[in-house]
């Protein structure tokens, strides 16, 4: 893990991501609490989550087109600067009458993040060697868990002491710092054939964008490896999102515990994720990505299946810690497979399409989980979600090869501008 952080450009990208994630986690907690306190409505609070998920579903796939067309580092710097500006508008939210601004800000901020994420994921493989991709992705997973641990407490304290405006200023400052750090990254120039001169392609700008998007979707459909990666990723997302609406009811209704235990479980899970990230950074380069994803998903799914069948709080806490270790490996393995299996010139579009698919599947999964919990009960739904996680891992072991970095699509895909049309 440390050798990867010694790579200056990756370290700058990683640190910028960590700082902005800390600000995001602080702001999300503050916004959710502020909206519920101002309205007393769980529906109004749920609408915040809709504003958070919808942009990725609506714009994620198209955002990937621009991640392949434009300079990826520049996209990340500009979107961070724009997010800082947008977030500062929360200073206007000083009464319930201005609450609509909070929804608009969250929607706009997530829309900008939709442009940032495929650019970041597509750029990362050019900053580290192939053998360092697993540790690098493990460090990114470490970022998420550090932010889960530190961000919400900071947001809660600042909200209670100084109000929403102070949290907004903190989040805006985190974006500015991230933009400054990423601007220092020396990203290698992409090869000429991978940065197509759009002026040489006939048609309007809209037609060219549509043509590029179709090429990316054709690659997803026709390339066996990428199609398989999408399949296991969608199954993983479907199972993962099923946990969200029924986890708190499980704590309250099955474990018969209060919000303090709910928070404790979240903290313990984040510590487990941190532990998994550290172990993966140390030993991950010795494990093949497909094996890492497959066995990580199977192990995490089985641990979750056992955890949701128990009612002993000490046992649940222990298992909640343990499941973080294999699940971090699962995520890093799948991310590495995407980065090595998708040619650079298509990587942004594939990541954009994946974000859109995951957001859509997530919304469907949330609705199904909420309905099934009313019909068959909370524990069966959680068990189904755990089973889907393990199933994704099993499919990964059977269907996924360990790809090397590909600079062009497999010949059998037949993806060209003409076939995409």
Q: Taking the complete model, does pTM exceed 0.75, yes or no?
A: no
Helices 8-39, 164-183: crossing angle, 10 deg rounding: 160
Q: Please give the chain's pLDDT, 421 residues, in tens.
A: 567 778 889 899 999 999 998 998 888 878 877 776 787 765 676 677 678 778 877 777 677 777 777 888 999 999 999 999 999 999 988 877 788 898 899 999 989 988 888 888 888 888 888 778 888 887 877 777 788 778 877 887 888 888 889 999 999 999 999 999 999 998 776 544 444 444 444 455 556 655 665 666 676 677 788 888 888 998 998 998 888 777 878 887 889 887 567 667 877 888 888 888 888 877 777 788 899 999 999 999 999 999 999 999 999 999 999 998 999 889 889 988 888 888 877 777 777 777 777 778 877 887 788 788 888 888 999 999 999 999 999 999 998 875 454 545 444 433 333 333 3
Cβ neighbourhood burial of 331 (10 Å; 0-12, 13-18, 19+): buried
- CATH (one of 3.40.50.2000, 3.30.360.30, 3.40.50.300, 1.20.1250.20) for 210-409: 1.20.1250.20
What pLDDT score does 186 carry?
87
What pLDDT score does 413 carry?
39
What pLDDT score does 357 carry?
79
What pLDDT score does 217 carry?
66
- Whole-angstrom CA distances from 15 to 21, 120, 143, 179, 181 are 10, 13, 9, 11, 8
410 backbone dihedrals φ, ψ, rounded to 5°: -60, 145
Token representation of residue 60: 């994620």
- CATH (one of 1.20.1250.20, 1.10.10.60, 3.90.1150.10, 3.40.140.10) for 1-187: 1.20.1250.20
Q: What are the counts of helices (DSSP H) followed by strands (DSSP E) for the chain?
A: 15, 0
- Whole-angstrom CA distances from 122 to 39, 331, 413 are 40, 16, 21
* Domain boundaries defined on the chain: 1-187, 210-409
Q: Do domains 1-187 and 210-409 have the same CATH topology?
A: yes
Residues 6+ apart with CB under 8 A from 274: 142, 145, 146, 149, 324
What pLDDT score does 45 carry?
64
What pLDDT score does 416 carry?
34
């Amino acid at each position: 893990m440390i050798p990867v952080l010694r790579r200056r450009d990756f370290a700058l990208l990683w640190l910028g991501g960590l700082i902005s994630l800390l600000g995001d986690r602080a702001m999300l907690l503050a916004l959710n609490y502020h909206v519920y306190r101002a309205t007393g409505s769980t529906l109004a609070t749920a609408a915040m989550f809709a504003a958070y998920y919808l942009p990725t579903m609506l714009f994620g796939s198209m955002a990937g087109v621009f991640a392949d067309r434009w300079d990826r580092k520049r996209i990340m710097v500009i979107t961070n600067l724009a997010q800082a500006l947008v977030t500062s508008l929360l200073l206007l939210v000083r009464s319930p009458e201005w609450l609509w601004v909070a929804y608009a800000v969250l929607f706009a901020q997530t829309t900008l993040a939709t442009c940032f994420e495929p650019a970041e994921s597509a750029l990362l493989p050019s900053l580290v060697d192939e053998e360092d991709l697993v540790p690098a992705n493990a460090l990114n997973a470490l970022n998420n868990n550090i932010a889960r641990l530190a961000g919400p407490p900071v947001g809660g304290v600042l909200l209670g002491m100084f109000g929403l405006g102070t949290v907004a200023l903190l989040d805006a400052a985190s974006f500015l710092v991230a933009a400054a750090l990423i601007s220092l990254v020396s990203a290698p120039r992409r090869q000429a054939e991978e940065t197509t001169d759009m002026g040489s392609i006939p048609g309007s700008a809209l037609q060219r964008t549509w043509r590029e998007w179709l090429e990316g979707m054709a690659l997803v459909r026709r390339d066996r490896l990428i199609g398989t990666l999408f399949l296991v990723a969608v199954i993983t997302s479907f199972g993962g999102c099923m946990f969200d609406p029924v986890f708190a009811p499980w704590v309250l209704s099955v474990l018969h515990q209060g919000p303090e235990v709910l928070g404790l479980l979240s903290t313990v899970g984040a510590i487990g994720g941190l532990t998994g990230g550290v172990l993966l950074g140390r030993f991950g380069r010795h494990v093949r990505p497909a094996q890492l994803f497959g066995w990580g998903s199977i192990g995490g799914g089985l641990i979750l299946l056992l955890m949701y069948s128990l009612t002993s709080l000490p046992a649940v806490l222990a298992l909640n810690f343990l499941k973080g270790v294999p699940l971090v490996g699962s995520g890093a393995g799948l991310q590495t497979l995407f980065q090595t299996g998708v040619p650079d010139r298509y990587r942004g579009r594939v990541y954009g399409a994946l974000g859109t698919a995951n957001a859509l599947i997530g919304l469907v999964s949330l609705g199904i989980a909420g309905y099934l919990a009313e019909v068959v009960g909370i524990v069966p739904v959680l068990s189904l979600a755990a089973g889907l996680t393990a199933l994704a891992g099993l499919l990964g072991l059977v269907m996924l090869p360990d790809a090397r970095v590909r600079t062009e699509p497999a010949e059998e895909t037949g993806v060209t501008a003409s076939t995409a049309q």
